[in-house]
Amino acid sequence: MSMYILGLSAFYHDSAACLLKNGDIIAAAQEERFTRKKYDARFPHHSIKYCLKHAGISADQVANVVFYEKPFVKFERLLETYLAFAPKGFKSFAMAMPAWIKDKLFQKSILIKELTNTLGAGINWRERLLFSEHHLSHAASAFYPSPFDSAAVLTLDGVGEWTTTSVALGKGKDLKVIKEIHFPHSLGLLYSAFTYYTGFKVNSGEYKVMGLAPYGEPKYADLIKEKLIKIAEDGSFQLNMNYFDYATGLTMTNKKFHALFGGPPRKSETALTQREMDLAASVQKVTEDIIVLIAKEIAKNTGEKNLCLAGGVALNCVANGILLREKIFDNIWIQPAAGDAGGALGSALCAWYLHHSKERNISSERDAMKGSYLGPSFSNEEIEAELNLCGAKFKKLSKSGLIEQVASALEDQKAVGWMQGRMEFGPRALGGRSIIADPRSLKMQKQLNLKVKFRESFRPFAPSVLKEDVADWFEIDIDSPYMMLVANIQKDKRLKVKGEEKALFGIDKLNVPRSSIPAITHVDYSARIQTVHEDTNPLYYAIISKFKEKTGCPLVVNTSFNVRGEPVVCNPTDAFKCFMGTELDVLAVGNYLLLKDEQDKALRENYEDRYELD
């Protein structure tokens, strides 16, 4: 008889649900994709219903529901922090306590109530409910799906209950955390402090800081190490809390921090200056240095040849690329849903392997994540019904006809919305819910940012490249199926930058083509790479192969199918709305092809007005 385990993350950031069947990951999705509220932290009603529907099971077939952290331990951390810093921070303490007492302290009762509301009465969820620990959930999400029988696991994020950084050892079905760094000392919160200070939103803008870093110089790196963070030889660290306000205050940084770096934080949406670029470069450099030190210490102390990574900081694909180039470990595997959503997966895996002591079978393929294509898919009948309700004009093609026409559109420099198969789990679009384009285009990077994504012009785009061709185009020759590694463009594909162009500063660097694939080449000749594999996504592999056949170029621009401020599209209606409200030229959903020029003009104007508000 099959055993089903449901893992949940909720109430902090990016709620999600994941379902295991006899330890096999069969479904996982973030709540935001269904509610259309970005980073939705509410109880994941829709994600749970999707998981059970996909499995074709009823609620009473779920053996355990596992929550990804222990709320009482987090409450203890909050209480002890305020006591340690008293009387400082009473205002935020007074604001936080009522919410914690009402919602968090009695979280077990709330979870049982929400499960009953979602799945119906008549099941004793109290008996079936389990709790994992935050960092153990992260570590489990990284180790158990990995292709390694044994590995060291490094988890770095803002803060779980107490832990901000942890090292675990995994062997077979066993996993144990062996070392921790505790709040308030946090590499994730250091990075978030600079995210806040440079004018971006904490918990969502960190990747913007990473993308901004190559435009600057790490001028402040030494100052950060001198004043803000004390780093030991083994990579362990302590923050100087005199400069931060997140432990007890309502903001990340304080006046002392602002004085150190020459003024108040940048106001959101105001012009970026060289100072912000240099600050981004500096905190990125410090982060990379610390991660490398920690990794070297782990390798020395454990003798492990394999490293797994999870936690929000593991989404820093630039640091991951440096770890790879340093060759500290023979192999590195990074959980694609490295943030809190992945905690749902990790908690379920903890229940299967640690609570139920089930044996682990290492996947004979590259890992057990199935390409991270774990979300909903839609039949042609469902797609056609939704498109008709939207008032869309479309034509149905054969699979080969669709691939031919989309590849031709890409060759003609058209921007294409591509919604095919199952939705991805995690923050990256991997060819299931992607916007794709020609990487050879000189104008595409800027055009996609400003006219399709409605976001900052400096933001880089990633390439999806056929695995067999990756080493010809990039200085990397391993799988990177989850877009978690950055590598440089091969030297023979680069263009020489002229003398006067070398002298440019900041965003002006953006306008200088640096390779034969400028749309995905960042100003430091780097790219965030996704290798595409025929076995995990045959249709995406086919479209890139057809584009290669037409152009000789085995890669496409790949960015997530959404606009700024909205989650990635989930269903055909979401895809149509995004297509109509932006300057996308073509939409391919299932076997259906839609051209912008053929759509109802009044409908187009209606959707364009909607997105002007963003």
pLDDT digits (tens, 9 = 90+) for 304-329: 999 999 988 888 888 899 999 999 99
State the pLDDT at residue 322.
92
Q: Which of 186, 487, 214 is nearest to 312 (CA)?
A: 186
> If you average pLDDT over residues 200-214, what whole number do you get?
88
| Higher-confidence position of 606 and 126 | 126
Measure the CA–CA gap between 124 and 114, rounded to whole angstroms: 13
The residues, any chain, with a CB within 8 Å of residue 549's CB and separated by 6 or more, are 407
**Tens digit of each residue's pLDDT (9 = 90 or more) over 111-130:** 999 999 999 889 999 999 99
Least confident of 291-295, 339-343, 498-502: 498-502
Residues in the chain: 614
State the pLDDT at residue 12.
81
Least confident of 207-221, 393-407, 488-502: 488-502
State the pLDDT at residue 144.
98
- The C-alpha angle 201, 572, 414, rounded to 5 degrees, equals 75
| Higher-confidence position of 188 and 38 | 38
State the pLDDT at residue 73.
52
Position 64 pLDDT exceeds 50: yes
Q: Range(s) for CATH 3.90.870.20 in the chain?
A: 380-612
Percent of the chain with pLDDT over 70: 89
The pair phi, psi for residue 258, each rounded to 5°, is -65, -40
Q: Range(s) for CATH 3.30.420.40 in the chain?
A: 4-68+70-131+340-368, 181-334
Measure the CA–CA gap between 608 and 157, rounded to whole angstroms: 38
Q: Is the peptide bond before 87 cis (omega within 30 degrees of 0)?
A: yes
CATH class of 181-334: alpha beta
The answer to whether the Cα torsion of 580, 582, 583, 584 is positive or negative is: negative
Position 577 pLDDT exceeds 90: yes
Tokens encoding 336: 């694609």
**Tens digit of each residue's pLDDT (9 = 90 or more) over 271-284:** 899 999 999 999 99
The conformational region for residue 506 under phi > 0 = left, psi -120 to 50 = alpha, else beta, is left
Tokens encoding 199: 């004018």
Global pTM reads 0.91
Helix axes 317-326, 274-302, angle to 10 degrees: 40
Position 458 pLDDT exceeds 80: no
Which CATH topology does 4-68+70-131+340-368 take? Answer: Nucleotidyltransferase; domain 5 (3.30.420)
**How does the average pLDDT of the chain come out, rounded?**
89
Whether the Cβ atoms of residue 249 and residue 89 lie closer than 8 Å to each other: yes
Tokens encoding 525: 């000749």
Tokens encoding 562: 């959404």
- Give kind and range of the element (H or E) at residue 406: helix 399-411
Whether the Cβ atoms of residue 55 and residue 26 lie closer than 8 Å to each other: yes
CATH class of 380-612: alpha beta
The residues, any chain, with a CB within 8 Å of residue 64's CB and separated by 6 or more, are 5, 6, 128, 129, 130, 351, 355
State the pLDDT at residue 613.
35
Position 444 pLDDT exceeds 60: yes
State the pLDDT at residue 614.
32
| Higher-confidence position of 269 and 380 | 380
